[in-house]
Structure 1
Amino acid sequence: MQRRDAFPAALAFLLAAHPAAAAAPKVAASIAPLAGIAAAVLGEDGPPALLLPSDRSPHRGALQASQTRVLADADVVLWIGPDLERGIGAALDAMPPTWVAEHTLRAEAAQGMRHRPLRRFAGDAEPAEGRTGGDDPHLWLDPGNAAAIARALAERLAILEPPRAAVYRANAERFAGSMTALEADLAESLAPVRGRRFVVFHDAYRYFETAFGLEAVAALADEPGEPIGGRRLAEVRARAEADGAVCVFADAQAPEGAVTGIARDLGLKPGVLDPLGAGLEPGVDSYAILLKRLAEAFRGCLAR
C-alpha cells in the first residue's frame, strides 16, 4: 500500500521538476510506429522520445521509472489508447487529469481515423469477459490512418509552438502525400498474393489486411504471449485446411523460433511479421520502412 500511495506523489514531483520547454516541443511516442510518424512531423525539431521498446508487446507491463520520467517530461505524449498500451494508461491514471488533457494525444481519436471493430473468426468461441466489442487498436498499420495521426500531431504542435506551425503542418502534409504513394506501391507489390489466406499468432494485422486485400482466417491467441493448447491447435488446423491457408505468421516480438513448431503442427509455411518495427530507429522514413518490411514478409511467405 505504501508503494501505491507513493506513485502519484512521485509523478507530481516529476511534473513539477520538468516544466514545458521553451524551445521545440518535446514529444514522447508510445510505440516506434508512432515515433516514426512524429519524427516526420517534427522534422529538424525531432527526434521524439520512444516510451516502449519495440522488441516487446505494448499490451502488457507497467512503465519503469525511467519511462515514467520521459512521459512526465513530454509536452505531448502520443499514444494509441488504453486498449493497447495498458502500462501507459495506468501511469496516466495516476497523473492530474488537467495534465493528461493538456499533454496527451490519443491517435485513436484523430480526425479522419478509419476504425475497424475487433473481429471474431468463424468457429471462434465466445470471447472472454472484458474482450467484447470495441475497436481493434492496431490502427497504425493503415497508411491512411498514419496520415490522420500526422495531421493531428501537427495541429497540437502548432498550438504549442505557433512560430513553427506552418512547418509542422507542411511536414504533415508531405508525410500524408508520401502515404498515398506508399499505399499505391504496396498494393502493386502485394497484388500477386491478394486473397491468399493465412493464420496469425495474434490478430494485429486487420488494418493492413483491409488496405491490401489480404485475409487471416484464424488467430492462435487473443493476446501475445498467451499459451496455445493442443485443442486450439487442432481447431485452427481444421479451419486452415478448410479455408486453404498457406502460412502461419508469428509476431517478431514472440520468442525466437516459436513459429517453427507451430507451423509444422499446422502443416503451414512459417513466417514472421513485425507490427512494431523491432530494431528500427525512429526517423523520418522509419514508418514507411516498417510497412515495406511488413509487405515483404507477407509476400515472401504467401507467394507459391
Structure 2
Amino acid sequence: MVHKNKWLQYTLIAGSLMMAGSATAAVVTSIRPLGFIASAIADGVMPTEVLLPDGASPHDFALRPSDIKRLQSADLVLWVGPDMEAFLSKSLKQIPANKQLAISELPAVQPLLIKGDDEHDHKNEHDHNHNHNQKHDHDHDHKHATDSAMAAENEHNHGEYNQHMWLSPEIAKVTAIAIHDRLLELMPQNKDKLDANLRQFEDQLAQTDKNLVRILTPVQSKGYFVFHDAYGYFEKHFGLSPLGHFTVNPEIQPGAQRLHQIRTQLVEQKAVCVFAEPQFRPAVINAVAKGTQVRSGTLDPLGSGIALGKESYGNFLQALSNQYLSCLK
C-alpha cells in the first residue's frame, strides 16, 4: 500500500510538471500586432501570447513579476527592439539569444527602415522638434522650460529610425519568415506545418495588400494630422498624405506654440481629419480642431480587440484602413 501511494504521488507530480510545461510553452510577443504575425506562423505548433494588455502602450509599460516569468518560460520572445520596448531590455539579457527575436535587428529589415519624421518631411514640419514637447503650456515662452522639454525629448527618443515597423506589410513579411526560421530551428519536427503556415500568411498578405491599395487610393490626396509619429510605414506603403503629427513621443504633450501652428495648418491647408488614438486621448486634439470644419477620427496602431489567429494581421491592416477611410472619405 505504501509503495502504491508513493507511485501515485510520483505520477501526480510528474503529470503536474508536464501540464505546467505545456501550459507555458509559447511564443510571447511584446505587442499585439507582433502577436498577429506570430500566431499565424505558430498556428497548430504552439500558442502565441501577448505581453501588453489592450489599452497599454509600449512607450510607457512596466513589467510585473508575472510578466518576467512568462518571458523566462517562453520558447520564443518576439519584440521590436530596445529603442521601442526599453522595458524589456534588462529581462531579455537573462534569456538565451536563440529564444528571442528583435525585429529591428533583422538584416533583411534594415533596408526597409525609415528615419523618424522622414514620412512627415514637409516644409511646415521643419521645427517640430523645437515646439512639440513642452509639457506645460503656461511657461512655454521661458527658455528654461524649452531646455527642459528638449532634455525630455532626448531622454525619451526612440532611436534614429521610426520604430513602429509592424505597420509595414513588407516588414511583416520579413518578420514572418524570421519567426518561421527560428521556430524551425527550435522544433524541426514541425517543418511541414511551419512551411504551410508561412505560405498561407504570405498569400493572405499579398491579397490583403492588393485590396487595401484599391480602397485607399481614392483618399491618397486627403490631408490629415495624426496624434503621434507612428504611421509612417503604413502611410508610405499606401501613398497617404499626412500633414504632420502633434508629437513624436506620446508621453510628451505638444506645447502651445506647436498647437497654434497645427491649428493654422488645419485652416490653411484644409485638412480633412485629425486622428487620436485609443491608447492616448489627449484633449488638445479636440481643442485644436474646435471651430474648424476638420473631422475627428481614431487610429489604433496596436489592433486592440483583434483576436490572434491565422488571419489576424490582415484583419489588423483592414481595420486600420477602415479607420482612415471613415474620417477621410
User: 1:49·1:70 contact (CA, 8 Å) conserved in 2?
Assistant: no
The within-5 A match list for 1:87-102 is 87-93=87-93, 95=94, 99-102=95-98
Give the residue type in structure 2 aligned to 1:52: L
1:124 aligns with 2:99: no
Q: Determine the C-alpha separation between the residues in 2 that align with 1:166 and 1:218.
A: 46
Give the residue type in structure 2 aligned to 1:179: L
Q: What SS does the aligned partner of 1:45 have?
A: coil
Match of 1:115 among 107, 113, 129: 113
1:156 aligns with 2:152: no
Q: How many residues align?
A: 282
Q: What SS does the aligned partner of 1:276 have?
A: coil
Give the residue type in structure 2 aligned to 1:260: N
User: 2:114·2:162 contact (CA, 8 Å) conserved in 1?
Assistant: yes
Q: Which residue of 2 aligns with 1:105?
A: 101
* RMSD (Å), alpha carbons: 2.6
Residue 63 (structure 1) shift: 0.5
1:49 aligns with 2:57: no
Q: Determine the C-alpha separation between the residues in 2 that align with 1:258 and 1:288.
A: 32
Moved more, 59-68 or 220-229: 220-229
Residue segments in structure 1 that go unaligned for 5+ positions in a row:
1-16
Larger radius of gyration: 2
TM-score normalised according to structure 1 size: 0.84
User: 1:47·1:283 contact (CA, 8 Å) conserved in 2?
Assistant: no
Residue segments in structure 2 that go unaligned for 5+ positions in a row:
1-16, 131-149
Q: Which residue of 2 aligns with 1:32?
A: 32
Give the residue type in structure 1 aligned to 2:127: D
Q: Determine the C-alpha separation between the residues in 2 that align with 1:26 and 1:53.
A: 17
Q: Which residue of 1 aligns with 2:80?
A: 80
1:183 aligns with 2:209: yes
Q: Structure 1 65/25 Cα, relative in aligned 2: closer, same or farther at 3 Å? A: closer
Q: What SS does the aligned partner of 2:43 have?
A: helix
Residue 112 (structure 1) shift: 3.2
Q: Determine the C-alpha separation between the residues in 1 that align with 2:185 and 2:126.
A: 49
Q: Determine the C-alpha separation between the residues in 1 that align with 2:63 and 2:291.
A: 36
Residue 21 (structure 1) shift: 5.9
Q: What SS does the aligned partner of 2:272 have?
A: strand
Q: Determine the C-alpha separation between the residues in 1 that align with 2:238 and 2:219.
A: 10
Q: Which residue of 2 aligns with 1:64?
A: 64
Q: What SS does the aligned partner of 1:209 have?
A: helix
Give the residue type in structure 1 aligned to 2:183: L
TM-score normalised according to structure 2 size: 0.78
User: 1:197·1:245 contact (CA, 8 Å) conserved in 2?
Assistant: yes
Residue 135 (structure 1) shift: 1.1
Residue 230 (structure 1) shift: 2.4
User: 1:80·1:107 contact (CA, 8 Å) conserved in 2?
Assistant: yes
Residue 90 (structure 1) shift: 3.4
Moved more, 263-272 or 279-288: 263-272
Give the residue type in structure 1 aligned to 2:100: T
Give the residue type in structure 2 aligned to 1:178: Q
